[in-house]
Amino acid sequence: MPVHHPTPEPERVASVSRADLVADAAIALLAERGMRGLTHRAVDEAAGLAQGSTSNLARTRQALLELAVRRHAEREAGVLGLGGLPGPEEGVDALARALAGAVHRLLSEERVLVVARYELALEATRRAELREFYDATGARFREALRGTVVGAGSREPERHVLSLVAWADGLMFSCVAGGFGAPSQDEVRDGVRELLRGMLWR
């Protein structure tokens, strides 16, 4: 997944904030080159910005990482459709379809986000200041999912949210970094539906 080096265009800079341009370039670099490849100079080049632009926006490496984490959370939330998860009246099958669609989109269209998240998560285990920031950005999704499983009848929402997140993360890691091929959306749906039915069975 080579990093795209766009030529700066006034229209593009006007429609997308400078912070988002820098953050998107940082995410692409993390996915292609790993944490060692993330430098202010490399981000300038990948974003098509003048040298020093990234440093002016995020002077330290910590600031650059926080910018990437924040933007990553925004983009991933868009894929996951937070705020639009099915209500309890729609049933387990509707929730399974929604979650499967999100996971499949990440695997098929947004693999850069998946790989970059692994890089950021591992770096957060080495930087306490990043750990707190990283965890805070992930809380939004966990809370949305918690409300959904409670509405679906979960009596142990914390454990069930952990199981769902772990299942999705494990599937994506196995497909992106492991030896498994990407499953179809129907296969993902069947898997998450089995998990949900097992957790919510009376």
Identity of the residue numbered 161: V
The CATH number given to 70-200 is: 1.10.357.10
pLDDT at site 145: 85
Q: Where are the domains of the chain?
A: 1-59, 70-200
Q: Which residues of the chain, if any, have pLDDT below 70?
A: 1-16, 82-85, 87-89, 202
Residues 28 and 51: their CA atoms lie apart, in Å, by 18
Distance CA 192, CA 113 (A): 21
66 contacts 19 by C-beta, under 8 angstroms: no
Q: What pLDDT score was predicted for residue 11?
A: 41
Of 63, 61, 51, the residue nearest 19 (C-alpha):
63
Predicted local confidence at residue 8, as pLDDT: 45
Domain 1-59, what architecture?
A: Orthogonal Bundle (1.10)
Q: What's the pTM? A: 0.84
- Can you give the three-state secondary structure of 115-150, one letter per residue? HHHHHHHHHHCCCHHHHHHHHHHHHHHHHHHHHHHH
Name the strand (E) or helix (H) holding 28. helix 18-33
pLDDT at 200: 83
